[in-house]
């Protein structure tokens, strides 16, 4: 294994160990693996939401609560969420787009 690969895996292990007990509410589209995560909310109460970012959610009855570490295993591109402060939102247009950050509108 190359040094850079090992370093990346060590970094992922460290982040996931720090996030083991953290959970997120995830929309039904992400849970069903129909759409990627394009919006992440770190609420003021320190809870997390990971959503597809589309507006066709009737409600969150079909949402599930999952470990953040499991979401990272499915999609490593969400690793920057670890740095997202409470009260902030991260959004992207596509999986390969950069995250754009803003404050939660109260």
pLDDT (0 to 100) of residue 37: 95
2 has pLDDT over 90: no
pLDDT tens for 43-81 read: 999 999 999 988 876 666 678 899 988 888 888 889 877
Its domain, for residue 48, covers 3-103
Domains: count for the chain: 1
**pLDDT given at position 62:** 75
3-class DSSP assignment, residue 41? strand
Residues 6+ apart with CB under 8 A from 19: 67, 68, 69, 72, 82
Full-model pTM = 0.76
Q: Tens digits of per-residue pLDDT, 5-48?
A: 666 556 555 554 555 578 899 998 898 889 999 999 999 999 99
Residue 80: per-residue pLDDT: 78
């Amino acid at each position: 294994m190359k040094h850079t690969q090992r370093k990346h895996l060590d970094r992922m292990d460290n982040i996931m160990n720090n996030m083991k007990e953290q959970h997120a509410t995830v929309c039904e589209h992400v849970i069903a693996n129909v759409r990627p995560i394009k919006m992440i909310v770190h609420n003021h109460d320190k809870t997390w939401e990971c959503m597809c970012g589309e507006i066709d959610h009737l409600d969150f009855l079909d949402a599930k609560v999952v470990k953040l570490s499991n979401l990272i295993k499915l999609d490593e591109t969400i690793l920057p969420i670890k740095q997202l402060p409470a009260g902030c939102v991260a959004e992207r247009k596509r999986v390969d787009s950069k995250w754009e950050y803003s404050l939660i509108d109260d």
